[in-house]
Structure 1
Amino acid sequence: MCYVFFIGFVIGVWPESKSFSDEGMGPIPSKWRGICQLTKNGSRCNRKLIGARYFSKGYLAYASMVNSTAAKSIQPNARDYAGHGSHTLSTAGGNFVPRASAFGNGNGTAKGGSPKARVAAYKVCWPPINDNECFDADILAAFEAAISDGVDVLSVSLGGEAVEFFNDGIAIGSFHAVKKGITVVSSAGNSGPTPGSVSNVAPWMLTVGASTIDREFSNYVALGNKKHLKGASLSSTGLPAEKFYPLMSASDAKATNASASEAQLCKPGTLDKKKAEGKILVCVRGENARANKGQQAILAGAVGMILVNDKLSGNEIIADPHLLPASHVNFSDGESVFAYIKSTKIPMAYITRVKTELGTKPAPFMASFSSRGPNPVEQSILKPDITAPGVSIIAAYTQATGPTDGEFDTRRVPFNTESGTSMSCPHVSGIVGLLKTLHPTWTPAAIKSAIMTTARKRDNNNGTMLDSSKARATPFAYGAGHVQPNSAMDPGLVYDLTTDDYLNFLCARGYNETLLKVFSKEPHKCPKAYSLSDFNYPSITVPNLRDTPVTVTRRVKNVGSPGTYVVRVKEPVGVSVTVKPGTLQFKSNGEEKKFKVVLKAKVQGPQDYVFGELKWTDGKHNVRSPIVVMHY
């Protein structure tokens, strides 16, 4: 199987507290010697380790099988030719770098989530062959190497369509990592807002969606009818002169052999230079890359571009490093642009230069591209687990390609903005690195629980987090909520899981002894009776609530001081929720308590998902779990 939706590197992070010694990490892998500062004996690092390895045997075997001429010119190495790996790695573990900016915007000191971590990159993706670029053989080899190297965190900014776990290389590799105490953080995917589009859905992974931040790179579109529309951009140039320019829908600039719909999307070869030259073109988002639309506008002789959202993209606008003056506006403003063009014989417009705006509201809201639940493989597990910043993120960039990663882009920059769940994933990976340093004995499940149960569902307007369409977002978009690193340090209680719990989960899905060997070499005897409703996940999902009540069992471990926790419940619409017992008293750190949640349909209604929340509180800690119910 190949993973083609978003490519990247697997990143290993060692918190600063772990040292390279005979009692600790052991010798540096031979492939890394010379990459870091060595001690006198040449076998240990005494400086921050930055390593890079590559895995290409699976890719090259496929290339040989299909006799790909494109692959024959490739010399496999660990260099980042696309920018994706540099961006994600620096987000997870980049050190403090002053005077960082994206084309002079967003000036400040840049740092990763774990800025003093030791990091390693494992390159597993290559130029596409028949749309295939990341192969299970290479992904699994990278997991095996990272486990052997002794990393504490794996940040996996890649994935593909969700499939059954025994057919999923990332799920298999991450299981073996989690068995060794390594937390695996993964991207939810960029196929939203389509329901059921989420990927990396195994319960042992921490799956991250993408949401916005309260910083925007803004410019404005001034129309000839005196309307001013706010957009987003990182265009490095402005219009030749401060004056209005002719405005044209790209469909009106279509080439003779192109359809109006293809020209409207500004696809390659669809625009007529005689029609577009000297004008500001209006292109619609979708199908081809946003930066590529700008390139097509340049080739057609346009002086600028207004990129408008389709209805599905709603209000999500993204600042891209366009080569020409451009502005990305939302769907409703795009409708205003088209209405203005139709209202006059001589439509005109002007695009202002980019400026950085801080404290924008509302933020965060969910990115439209962020993949959504429900979980297409196992609906009793809510995915994604969490959301984190993933729109217009500034981070380090390769010098091997331009900021748009197009052959036409000859610019080279040390920092660039990118958007995607590939960007939100390493935010959480960096947080995991810090939590591992603070709590070295916590299991990957405990770390995941701490991050999930302390998340926030409100934006900076103190309202419920929204989708890009301005509708209320649901746990299928954000999981448990938007990550709050400081709260995750002291969650009070955690929902913990062991390797046997995960194997029992697979047993409940019908895995036999042969399939279980894919995940565990040691024999595992499946329990005679095991219900997925008893799997100790930090969220509660009931995909089949009908006339008969459903009972869910959970256990929580005290990781704080002794105290008494009282339950609070926000019931899903049409569902009654009873928690027994309603009070949990902990006398010591490490003590565990069980409780049961009984869910019962109050009335019959239309088949639909409804959402609620269960919270344990001692007055200081609030341990929240989303409740998701398919109500029949």
Structure 2
Amino acid sequence: MKKSKFCNRAYLTCGIPRSVSFPSIAIYKAIYSFGGYMSDVVAAVDKAVEDGVDILSLSIGPSAVPTGPAAFLNILEMELLFAVKAGVLVVQAVGNGGPTPSSVLSFSPWITSVAASTTDRKYNNSIVFGNGQVFTGTALSLPTQEGLFLPLAAAEDVCNWNETCILARNCQRPEPFNRSLIRGKLIVCTFSDFIFSPTSVDSIVSTAQKIGAAGFVVIMARGRSSEFLNETTSTLNLPLPGIVLSSREASEAFWDYYDSHTLRTKNEVVVNFGACARILDGRHAVYTGKGPSVASYSSRGPDVNNALMQTADVLKPNILAPGTSIWSAWSPTSQSDQYNIGQDFAILSGTSMATPHVAGVAALIKQKHRHWSPAMITSALMTSAMLTDRSGELLSAQVRDGLIPATPFDYGAGFINPSHALNPGLVFDAKFRQYIQFLCVVPGVDDESVQRAVGIGCPTVRSDWCSDLNTASITVSNLVGSRQVIRKVTSVGSTEERYQVVVREPAGVAVTVNPQAFTIQPDSSMILKIMLEGREIANDYTFGELVFNGDKNHVVKVPLAIFVSSTL
């Protein structure tokens, strides 16, 4: 098989074998630090299903997703579809390509795709300049010697003076530097755009160690600063003093201080490095009490494109869970992170860290409701999710310039709520044949392709739209005039309950639900007809919500994401 790179952490975890009454975990190694082979991943999934697991937790994904209808028919998606057919819930990291739109790597409707949020755990470090100014940054690092201020040297001022000096500013390679000039100093590395990442820090650390720097400071280039850098840099466990400063205030203050204390010749050659600083200990957590935001790195919807260059009628991601600054078990023999070699635990960030949170909650649901299908568990997770934090503030999303109001393409149905997910009231179920029907109506997918991929032909009577798949969300990527969407809810409550449907309409869309009120018995189902009517073309998705309020205190929420292409 062709070697395929996978995003996130290099392991595949499967949990809760069906043969036991208590949760247990089975781990199948399929990926290495360099990536892996699709055949190994497929073999691992096959073995996990054969062993009787209930939940597949996949902190892996393809390095890129193909556009077009073939995306849903590739070998990994088909393997996971057959795992779902066997009763296994698949929970997969949505990817770390955010905040770019349509960057999701987990996109099929039979998979529960997990976005990552920030947490209130922060590892803030501080730097003290020689003039007494103190600024807060990020990175888990050792401090410089207590009370000792070290000279600061901008990377371009300690390189070998030739054409490589401009390239030296980001400190990604040791070759351009004059080691006699930098030895014992704090090297100052700059970035002029939003290309900063943990890989960048790895290169800076390697460069600093090779050229003899005492530590490093990362700051935005002169005149270009951001209030925000990728959250995954905040948990890097550094082997030498280092700090990342991302605020505009810190950037401007640093350059004013550095330039005023650095003596240069007429040719701009530095003859005296007068600016100095010391870095404090950044290894102590601070708990802010702030609610979660969608992390900048978390991949965003909408979903993949079909043959007509419309995004699929599938809401991705599905759910949001903690993914930043997560303490995780770590193999001491792992070579994938040079700073954690020999460690049993590591602090990590990414959608890979959010995924096990959701898999764990799903395992608790499965333990309580042994006969629930994967779709029912996903529905319970989604319809019970939270859109506000404990203070009542709506969820926000990190972007390159700060925070903005979040949408379902950032967080799916919302932030995971474990206790409510155990008792959702109503669920939306879907079986293997419904997923086949979905594939058969994806624009550009023909019956023969479906037959080849799954071994089953398309039904004679089929749905009209992908949006008719019975999921706990409604997404329409191309609303022309009006469309009726069908949903079937099943009561999982213990007593008869009456529900009233409240509609929060997306901008430019009229929404009616029939019936708008209904009484339902335990284990009974109800067909709902949702009419969507485009009233105004917005040239983008607009978002709304259906809320089912039960008289036994169940609240069931269904997100709406609609793109109006034309009105009646």
Compute the TM-score of the two structures, normalised by the length of structure 1: 0.77
1:579 is aligned with what amino acid?
Answer: V
Local SS of the residue matching 1:617: strand
- Residue in structure 2 matching 1:347, options 266, 275, 287: 275
Structure-to-structure mapping, 1:470-485, within 5 angstroms: 470-485=403-418
Which shifted more, 276-285 or 138-147?
A: 276-285
Once the two structures are superposed, the pairs formed by residues 186-201 of structure 1 within 5 Å of their partners are 186-201=92-107
SS at match of 1:152: strand
Inter-CA distance 533–221: structure 2 relative to 1 (3 Å threshold):
same
| Aligned with 2:505 (options 571, 592, 599) | 571
Q: Does the CA-based 8 Å contact 1:165-1:172 persist in structure 2? A: no
Cα offset for 1:584?
A: 2.3
**Structure 1 pair 363–344 and aligned structure 2 pair: CA distance change class (3 A):** farther
Indicate which of 467, 473, 491 corresponds to 1:539: 473
Cα distance between partner residues in 2 of 1:152 and 1:142: 14
In structure 2, do the counterparts of structure 1 residues 196 and 544 end up closer, same or farther at CA, with 3 Å as the change threshold?
Answer: same
Asked whether the 8 Å contact 2:73–2:450 carries over to 1, the reply is no
**Is the Cα contact below 8 Å between 2:196 and 2:230 reproduced in 1?**
no
Which residue in the other structure is 2:342 paired with? 412
Query: Greater strand percent: which structure?
Result: 2
Contact 1:10–1:156, Cα closer than 8 Å, also in 2: yes
Query: Which residue of 373, 382, 394 maps to 1:464?
Result: 394
SS across alignment from 2:420: helix
Deviation at 1:291?
3.0
Distance 1:259 1:577 in 2: 61
Aligned to 1:286: 196
SS at 2:213 equivalent: coil
Q: Would you say 1:501 and 2:502 are equivalent positions?
A: no
User: Are residues 1:598 and 2:531 paired?
Assistant: yes
Corresponding position of 2:557: 624
Please state how far the C-alpha of 1:432 moved relative to its aligned partner: 1.2
Q: Secondary structure at the match of 1:544?
A: strand
SS of the residue corresponding to residue 537 of structure 1 reads coil
Deviation by residue 1:338-381 (Cα, 9 ceiling, x = unmatched): 54355522433322112544541433112111111111245210
Superposition deviation, residue 526 in structure 1 = 4.6
Cα distance in structure 2, aligned partners of 1:376 and 1:338? 43
The 5 Å alignment of 1:257-268 reads: 259-260=164-165, 262-268=167-173
Residue 530 of structure 1 pairs with residue 446 of structure 2: no
Mapped to 1, the partners of 2:99 and 2:52 lie a distance apart of 37
- Give the secondary structure class of the aligned counterpart of 2:375: helix
The alpha-carbon distance between structure 1 residues 553 and 529, as it changes in their structure 2 partners (threshold 3 A), is closer
Instruction: Give, as a single letter, the amino acid of the residue that structure 1 aligns with 2:469.
Output: F
Deviations 1:418-453 (A, max 9, x none): 111111111111111111101111100000011111
Question: In the TM superposition, what are the counterparts of 1:266-345 in structure 2 within 5 Å?
Answer: 266-269=171-174, 272=177, 273-283=179-189, 284=191, 286=196, 288-308=199-219, 311=226, 314=229, 316=231, 318-332=234-248, 335-336=251-252, 338-341=254-257, 343-345=259-261
Alpha carbons 2:10, 2:33 under 8 Å: kept: no
SS in 1 for 2:396: coil
**Residue 162, structure 1, aligned to residue 65, structure 2:** yes
Would the alpha carbon gap of residues 511 and 405 (structure 1) be closer, same or farther in structure 2, given more than 3 Å must change? same
Aligned pairs (5 A) from 1:67-86: none
Is residue 492–residue 523 contact of structure 2 (8 Å, CA) maintained in 1? Answer: yes
Counterpart-to-counterpart distance in 2, 1:437 and 1:355: 38
Partner of residue 202, structure 1: 108
**Structure 2 vs 1, CA of residues 621 and 410 (structure 1 numbering), >3 Å: closer, same or farther?**
closer
- Larger mean Cα displacement after TM superposition, 480-489 or 331-340: 331-340
Q: Does the 8 Å contact 1:507/1:526 carry over to 2?
A: no
In structure 2, distance between residues paired with 1:461 and 1:335: 32
**Contact kept? 2:152, 2:188, Cα under 8 Å:** yes
TM-score (norm 2): 0.85
Which deviations, in whole Å up to 9, do the C-alpha atoms of 1:250-293 show, x marking residues without a partner?
34444556745543332123551234322223334626342332
**Equivalent residue pairs, number:** 525
**What is the match of residue 362 of structure 1?**
290
Alignment of 1:29-40 (within 5 A): none
Amino acid aligned to 1:575 = V
1: CA distance, partners of 2:49 / 2:16: 12
For 1:505 and 1:483, the matched residues in 2 are separated by 26
Q: Quickly say closer, same or farther: Cα 1:382–1:166, change in 2 above 3 A.
A: closer
Residue 450 (str. 1) matches residue 366 (str. 2): no
Q: Does the 8 A contact of 1:457 with 1:481 survive in 2? A: yes
* 8 Å CA contact retained: 1:188, 1:200: yes
Tell me the residue number matched to 1:609: 541
Alignment CA distance shift 1:267-1:242 (3 Å): same
Structure 1 pair 585–223 and aligned structure 2 pair: CA distance change class (3 A): farther
Counterpart contact for 1:176–1:519, Cα < 8 Å: no
Q: What residue in structure 1 maps to residue 149 of structure 2? A: 244
* Cα separation, partners in 2 of 1:487 and 1:239, compared to 1, 3 Å: same
CA distance in 2, matches of 1:613, 1:146: 37
What is the one-letter code of the residue matched to 1:11?
T
**Fraction of identical pairs, as percent:** 32
1:280-315 deviation digits (Å, cap 9, x = unpaired): 233346263423322322222222223347759547
Q: What is the DSSP-based 3-state SS (H/G/I as helix, E as strand, rest coil) of the residue aligned with 2:413?
A: coil
Pair 1:374-2:302 in alignment: yes
Question: Partners in 2 of 1:341 and 1:543 — Cα distance?
Answer: 52
Where 2:389 maps in the other structure, the secondary structure is: coil
In structure 2, relative to structure 1, the CA distance for the partners of 1:438 and 1:410 (3 Å cut) is: closer
Please say if residues 502 and 548 of structure 2, whose CA atoms lie closer than 8 Å, have aligned partners that are also in contact.
yes
**Paired residue secondary structure (1:424):** helix
What displacement does 1:481 show? 1.2
Q: 1:178 aligned to 2:78?
A: no
CA contact (8 A) 2:73 2:453 kept: no
Please give the per-residue CA displacement for 1:459-501, whole angstroms capped at 9, x wherever unaligned: 3543122222211122111111111111111111111101111
Contact 2:315–2:412 (8 Å) recurs in 1: yes
Gaps of 5+ in 2: 262-273, 306-310
1:103 corresponding residue in structure 2: none
Matching residue's letter, 1:144: D
Report the more deviating stretch, 615-624 or 490-499. 615-624
Task: Give the letter for the 1:332 counterpart.
Answer: R
Greater mean alpha carbon deviation, residues 320-329 or residues 443-452: 320-329
Code of the aligned partner of 1:470: L
RMSD, aligned α-carbons: 2.6
Structure 1 residues 248 and 367: alpha-carbon distance in aligned structure 2, compared to 1, 3 A threshold: farther
Matched residues in 2 for 1:245 and 1:460: separation?
44
